[in-house]
Structure 1
C-alpha cells in the first residue's frame, strides 16, 4: 500500500515541497521578527542618550515603555502565548 500511495500522490509532491519551504520561510521570518536583541540594543542606546543629555526624561520614558511592551510581546511569543494585540514593532 505504501508504494501505491506514493505513486498516486506523486503529482502532489511539488505542492508539498513548496508548502514545506514556505513553512520554513515563515519560521525564519518569525524568528527574526521576534528577536529581542534589536529592542534590547535600542534600550541601551536610549539610556546612553538620556545620560548624555541628548533626550529629555519624558521622551526616554515614552520610548522605554514602548520598547518594554514590545519585549513583553516577544517573550509571550517565545512562550507560545497568542498575541494580545496587533503587533506595533518597531515601536
Structure 2
C-alpha cells in the first residue's frame, strides 16, 4: 500500500513541503524568542533605559515582567530538553 499511498498523496506534496517550512520557521522563532541570553540582554537594556530616564518606571516594570515571564518559560523549556 506504500506505493499506492505515495501516488494518491502526490498532489499534496507541495502542501506538506509548505507545512514543513512553516514548522521550521516557527521552531527557529521560538528558539530566538526564548533565548535566555537575549532575554537577559533585553533586561539590561531596559534597566539602562530606566537609569537614563529614557523610559517611564511603570513602563519599564511592565516590560521587565514580560521578559521575566519569558525567561522563566525559557528555563522550563531548557529543563525539559527544549520541547514545547
Give the TM-score, by structure 2 length.
0.60
The secondary structure found in structure 1 opposite 2:35 is: coil
Matched residue count: 74
Structure with higher helix content: 2
Give the TM-score, by structure 1 length.
0.56
Partner of 1:32: 32
Cα distance per residue 1:47-88 (max 9 Å; x no partner): x89xxx868xxx6xx58x635444222212333687xxxxxx
Return the index of the structure with the highest Cα Rg. 1
- C-alpha RMSD of matched pairs (Å): 3.1
**Which fold has the larger relative contact order, with Cα–Cα distance below 8 Å and residues 6 or more apart in sequence?**
2
